[in-house]
Amino acid sequence: MQRFYTFFLFSFLVLPLGICTAQWQKMIHSFGAQVFVLANNNGRLFAAAQGQGLFYSSDNGSSWNQIGYFNSITTTTTITMLTFNGNNIYAGAGAQPGGGNGAIYFSGDNGDSWAELNGPGDVFGNSIAYSGGNIIVSTFYSLSYSSDQGNTWHIPYSYDEIDHNPVGQTAIGGYVYIGDNYFIQRSSDNGVSFTTVDSSGTADHVTAFVGLGNHIVAGNGHGILLSTDGGADWQSTVVTSIASPNYFSTYGSHIFGADSYGDGVLLSNDSGSTWTNINSGLPLINGGPHVKYVTSMAISGATIFVGLADSTVWERSVSDALPVELVSFSAVTNQFSAELSWRTATEINNSGFEVQRRTVSSNQSSLNSWGKVGFIQGNGTSNSPHNYSYADNVGSVGTYSYRLKQIDHNGAFVYSQEVQVTIEAPKIFALSQNYPDPFNPTTNIEFTVPNDGHAILRIYNTLGQEVAKLFDDEATAGTNHQVQFNGSNLASGIYFSRLEFNGKMQVKKMLLLK
């Protein structure tokens, strides 16, 4: 089990990001009805409650906004499916305003404004996907797709042709997968045509798919069906004697599944091969052993949310359920270095921590990509606390974000929350000791000045003779000036670096050893 108690740090200030608990906790906000859909897209967590329309949260569930477009039609409309393509959202409802067979709604601005599209005519509310410009909707008796934003619809096959009810679909890795009462079928042309990839009869009532690398997991009526070759073969990897998930979410290399038949929430740390229940704290049916039926699930930020049949929504830190229990992670600055420290309470199969850094732009509006700066070995499996630290010599001013990539021995990984530091060069007259020292043949020298002005950095031998001039230019206050000295043409021995600025001087001794 893993818990992350996270902190944001600006220079020396530590700020708590949130509360991470050891089990599920009931969300304070109530929708007053069963939540049929939970989904996350571009910083918004969406929730669709029975007869209540659609809501969104921009702060991971702390507060919610009801989307006004659906207010006038909530008595006859329940959103039962969502799919995303960037800021484009397609929502399916099981009944049109005033009656009918269903409706498809569209938003091009991540949920701020909506319009009703022309639907296929018999939307039952099972699933919806978007792939390659096509909207694909599974209805009660058929599968329909539209290539022109819902103006016209086409049916690749019907109930009468296959004698099975399509119940779950998704777009993964360039394919569209659909499960019916017996088979799994796959489309390589965005839902225009399908071929059967599993005809073993084990794909009984497939309701959900999820992809992670080359592994694809399907939840069916008898458990979990797994393909390890990108969906081509499903016949020999049936995981039985467990729940049959109707919902999936991924976090790093981990898969979460939620079951609507009393087995609650499941976690796989090995891409779907094995699963464990993580139900501690969820309410039980009549005192147990089964969990109240799950009606929806989503991950937003580092929190997992599930809706239950009793109209409540529960939340839990994702990292709380994972194999390494990280109880703290913080950072402070030390001149031009960021000193990171973290602590684990317990560890299971922990190979170690990859330390990653990215640069935050000066206006705080954009970030560079993450890059690896170091690796600290873990302690495998341990029930004792362990402290870790890492010093990153950034060497330049700026604001930096750090995170840990905790890696298991089997290659599974999860990211910690981020900490942030701001490194500022001191506005003082200072010449730093060269590094490395002793050196052969090159070494680095850094200096700062209290105000803008002309600075000169020279190298002398023990006879007082100048052997190199490294800097003779205008120096800027608040900047860490860095130069390199190459002594390849000099004999081994003691040398001196001397910084001159505004009538002042500082000297450092260094040793060249060849």
Domain housing 448? 430-512
Residue 202 maps to a domain: yes
- Mean pLDDT per segment of 10 residues, for the chain of length 514 residues? 31 30 81 92 93 91 91 68 92 61 87 88 70 83 85 72 50 80 84 82 77 85 82 67 78 85 84 83 83 91 91 87 82 88 86 93 63 94 88 85 89 84 82 93 92 94 94 87 93 95 94 92
Residue 189 maps to a domain: yes
Say how far apart CA 229 and CA 478 lie, in whole Å.
55
Residue 19 maps to a domain: no
pLDDT digits (tens, 9 = 90+) for 83-108: 999 999 999 886 544 445 678 899 99
Contact 60, 300 (CB under 8 A): yes
Please check whether residues 406 and 490 belong to one and the same domain.
no
Please check whether residues 381 and 406 belong to one and the same domain.
yes
pLDDT of residue 291: 86
Please check whether residues 188 and 207 belong to one and the same domain.
yes
Q: 49 is written with which tokens?
A: 């409650």
Q: 152 is written with which tokens?
A: 């016209």
Find the radius of gyration of the CA atoms of the chain: 29
Q: 508 is written with which tokens?
A: 């450092």
pLDDT of residue 9: 31
The helix or strand, by DSSP H or E, that contains position 162, with its residue range, turns out to be helix 159-162
The phi, psi pair for 412, rounded to 5°, reads: -65, 150
Residue 180 maps to a domain: yes
Q: Structure pTM? A: 0.62
Domains held by the chain: number: 3
The phi, psi pair for 219, rounded to 5°, reads: -95, 125
Residue 402 maps to a domain: yes
Instruction: Choose the final residue of a domain: 405, 423, 441.
Output: 423
Please check whether residues 478 and 461 belong to one and the same domain.
yes
Closest CA to 389 of 438, 429, 334: 334
Q: Give me the residue label for tokens 């989503």.
A: 298
Q: Which of the 8 DSSP states describes residue 161?
A: H
Instruction: Choose the final residue of a domain: 232, 251, 271.
Output: 232
- CA-to-CA dists, residue 415 to 156, 210, 215, 338, 354, angstroms: 41, 20, 20, 19, 9
Q: Give me the residue label for tokens 């592994």.
A: 215
Say how far apart CA 209 and CA 129 lie, in whole Å.
12
